[in-house]
Structure 1
Amino acid sequence: MQKICVIGGSRYFGKLLVERLQAADHQVTVINRGSTSPPTGVEHLVVDRNDEAALTAALDARTFDVVVDQVCYTPVQAAIAARAFAGRTRRYVMTSTIEVYDPATAALPTVPTGTPVPEESVDPANWQVAMDLPWHDDSYLEAHYAEGKRQAEAVFAHVGSFAFATVRSAHVLGGSQEFTGRLAHYAGRITQGEEVTVHAKALPTVFIHYEEVADLLLWATAADFTGPVNACSDGPLDVHGLAEIVATQAGREAVYRTVPAGVEASPFSFDRHYAMSNARAKALGFSFSRTTDWLPGAVAEALAISAAPTA
Structure 2
Amino acid sequence: MLGGTEFAGRAISEGALARGWNVTVFHRGRHEPPQGVASLHGDRTTEDGLKALATDEKWDAVVDTWSAAPSVVRDSARLLDGRVKRYVYISSRSVYVFPEPDALGEDAPVVAGSPDDGDDVDYAAAKRGAELAAIDVFGDRALLVRAGLILGPYENIGRLPWWLNRIAKGGKVLAPGPRDAGLQYIDVRDLAAWTLDAIEQGLGGPFDLVSPPDHTTMQELLEACIHTTDSDAELVWTPPETILEAGIEPWMDLPIWLPPGEDYDTLHRGNVAKALSTGLRCRTVQETVADTWEWLQSIGGRAPQRPDRPTVGLDAETEAKVLCRRP
Quickly name the TM-score band, shorter chain normalised.
0.7 to 0.9
Which residue of 201, 209, 225 corresponds with 1:223? 201
Shift of 1:76: 1.6
Structure 2 residue 72 is the aligned partner of structure 1 residue 77: yes
Asked if 1 retains the 8 angstrom alpha-carbon contact of 2:5 and 2:34, the reply is no
Whole-Å Cα distance in 2 between the matches of residues 290 and 84 of structure 1? 37
Q: Determine helix, strand or coil for the equivalent of 2:29.
A: coil
Within 5 Å, give how 1:238-253 maps onto structure 2. 238-249=217-228, 250-253=231-234
Q: In terms of mean alpha carbon deviation, does 89-98 or 43-52 score higher?
A: 43-52
- The aligned counterpart of 2:157 is 180
Q: Count how many residue pairs are aligned between Structure 1 and Structure 2.
A: 285
Letter of the aligned partner of 1:269 in structure 2? W
Asked if 1 retains the 8 angstrom alpha-carbon contact of 2:10 and 2:34, the reply is no
Whole-Å Cα distance in 1 between the matches of residues 124 and 232 of structure 2? 36
Letter of the aligned partner of 1:228 in structure 2? P
1:7/1:254 Cα in 2 relative to 1: closer, same or farther (>3 Å)? same
Shift of 1:161: 6.2
Shift of 1:254: 1.4
Q: Determine helix, strand or coil for the equivalent of 1:277.
A: coil
Q: Determine helix, strand or coil for the equivalent of 1:7.
A: coil
1:23/1:252 Cα in 2 relative to 1: closer, same or farther (>3 Å)? closer
Within 5 Å, give how 1:280-291 maps onto structure 2. 280-284=274-278, 286-291=279-284
- The aligned counterpart of 2:323 is none
Within 5 Å, give how 1:252-263 maps onto structure 2. 252-257=233-238, 258-260=242-244
Whole-Å Cα distance in 2 between the matches of residues 199 and 75 of structure 1? 38
Asked if 2 retains the 8 angstrom alpha-carbon contact of 1:200 and 1:260, the reply is no
Asked if 2 retains the 8 angstrom alpha-carbon contact of 1:52 and 1:80, the reply is no
- The aligned counterpart of 1:278 is 272
Whole-Å Cα distance in 1 between the matches of residues 150 and 10 of structure 2? 14
Q: Determine helix, strand or coil for the equivalent of 2:50.
A: helix
- The aligned counterpart of 1:118 is 105
Letter of the aligned partner of 1:246 in structure 2? C
Normalising by structure 2, report the TM-score: 0.73
Shift of 1:46: 0.6
Normalising by structure 1, report the TM-score: 0.76
Whole-Å Cα distance in 1 between the matches of residues 77 and 137 of structure 2? 7
Whole-Å Cα distance in 2 between the matches of residues 40 and 187 of structure 1? 28
Letter of the aligned partner of 1:288 in structure 2? R
Which residue of 205, 209, 213 corresponds with 2:191? 213
1:28/1:306 Cα in 2 relative to 1: closer, same or farther (>3 Å)? closer
Whole-Å Cα distance in 1 between the matches of residues 189 and 224 of structure 2? 20
Shift of 1:49: 1.8
Whole-Å Cα distance in 2 between the matches of residues 147 and 195 of structure 1? 37
1:131/1:159 Cα in 2 relative to 1: closer, same or farther (>3 Å)? closer
Shift of 1:242: 2.5
Asked if 1 retains the 8 angstrom alpha-carbon contact of 2:172 and 2:234, the reply is no
- The aligned counterpart of 1:3 is none
Which residue of 170, 183, 205 corresponds with 2:148? 170
Whole-Å Cα distance in 2 between the matches of residues 12 and 109 of structure 1? 26
Which residue of 26, 48, 57 corresponds with 2:21? 26
- The aligned counterpart of 1:43 is 38
Q: In terms of mean alpha carbon deviation, does 289-298 or 11-20 score higher?
A: 289-298
Which residue of 11, 17, 23 corresponds with 2:12? 17
Whole-Å Cα distance in 2 between the matches of residues 38 and 303 of structure 1? 18
Whole-Å Cα distance in 2 between the matches of residues 86 and 251 of structure 1? 56
Q: CA RMSD of the aligned region, Å? A: 3.4
Letter of the aligned partner of 1:267 in structure 2? P
5+ residue gaps, structure 1, are 1-5
1:152/1:238 Cα in 2 relative to 1: closer, same or farther (>3 Å)? farther
- Amino-acid identity (%): 27
1:132/1:268 Cα in 2 relative to 1: closer, same or farther (>3 Å)? same
Shift of 1:120: 1.8
Shift of 1:173: 2.2
- The aligned counterpart of 2:86 is 91
